Structure 1
């Protein structure tokens, strides 16, 4: 048996890594250049954006031999180094060539976020290297270096403790608040662990965790060029259990994904769309995502309009198996539609409107044609919108 417990602070919980950030001049104030360093080369697993115009840092990473090990990640904000061609990749090599004068590098990796279409200002980055304390363990410093439109820092750490008192830990930092769509978000996420996990398990479990968290996130329908999730392990604890690691990693990635939802630019409400009674899991997921991405539904949430017709219309247009005489729609516990209540009377309309004024609530739709269920979570953004799809079962 094991217990997963939240820890205070962030990356500081993981032995074998060092991290920090400085201001290199990209931002007027606050850190804009950061690093994550390991005391020795470590395995690294990654998941990247599905955008075909992948940014130079991702292309630089993918040029390396398969299953390489690294001891250094350089991070920057304000400049995505995307759509910069081979020159953008060469800029990274030049930056690391200069950094190697300060510290020993093994297969260094770079990750960037910011404006697309501009070459990196290499001189600013290189001149900032002397400011780094490569032995620091400042989680706030590095998470600040990757924040752009984020309104709060996103970090989490957990311990996984077993009955024999042995334990391993996982911690992560993340950035992202806008331009978010399934196939990751405009986001960078770096996950560190001291678990004695194998590289194949790292690859398998990271991909699986992303599918039910970051790869189910949507804000405004755009998929970025720089989306990146990386997992590194120092193996310092010497402890590992696959099922426990799987559960803890999914907890971390889902919580970070929900932070992206809550930090959606202009967001004021978090809404759950729950589809139940669907023919199968695929149809439940499809209907829930249709609701979370519908312009009609977005504007209804922003305007606090309890018009159930927008919900029903979107489900019907999604192409899933459904029947108007079987459909049931609730706003929290307020019934707004079933075959006996096809007109929204004044009393129920007022009750539903009061639900929609709350900072968070659930719109539940039972299709009553099967047993599958899927929930999609979202928030209003005025004319923008964010949703995360997770928590599914059949």
Structure 2
């Protein structure tokens, strides 16, 4: 056996053992004889291309790795997991079409997806009509309010993320803020939450409110107006994809002294890469996985996050970030529900997901209920970080 093959086999062994410990599978390692039963078909829609590719690419890679690992351990209920994967290309209409295909043609038992709020919203109605459980890797408040009986959310929602940000602003007496948000589905939803949160709290006041269209390539005009407002003590950009990097470069080029705060959806290594030196000092709420080594040992999520980081790094020779964690947790919730339901019946799986309690993931502990499809609300594992030398560094 060559050294290259030995290294590859060693990595695979690490991944198999780590996933087995994380999920708590009691099934023995699969022998050379393949699992005889029909596979469990799980639909997967990710935003792997287009402006949201840094979200969906990470989630796709993680879920495929974990499904392969589970299958090598014997599968679930003695059956292999078969992923039926499609890329929505950051296009909500395409996401809806793909969801319809998964429900009616591919006959999957449940669906994981998508990576962005607009795509997930377009899929949610199809899930309801087709009575198919949908586990979302997008987390905006509009996905769970109003509650949709067949939709369950993995990430922190924008209420939680902005709450962490507003707490930080208030602690540091940056109480007059400017909003600069995209008119995309995510941006509109986050803006509404920010305005509502500001009104309810009273300790952080919105003194400027600017927007830009999805696809705009220069936000200097909006930022110039913000710069001219002497009340502004901090600028909050609410968006995802490539545009926050443009906002960051415009903010720096205009010499705006008010610090720049970004949405939690920007918490990926791609952001400082795209924004370059202009990202220095930018602040945002990030999942624990982004700063796991900086967490105190007393942090309840540290052990789980370290475990996943190590197994992912062993396989891909790169560190995972928060969106990898959302993919990990989405499949974790699905596998846990299948095991408890003892079935792949769609209704049984929906009911099992809704009864999920105390399930520890790398993002948080998941506790769904008939009135809460937002996972681990109100316990958020988001923490404030600042970009320093291109890295995410924990701040108070």
TM-score, with length taken from structure 2 = 0.24
Bigger radius of gyration among the two: 1
Q: Which has the higher helix share?
A: 2
Q: Which has the higher strand share?
A: 1
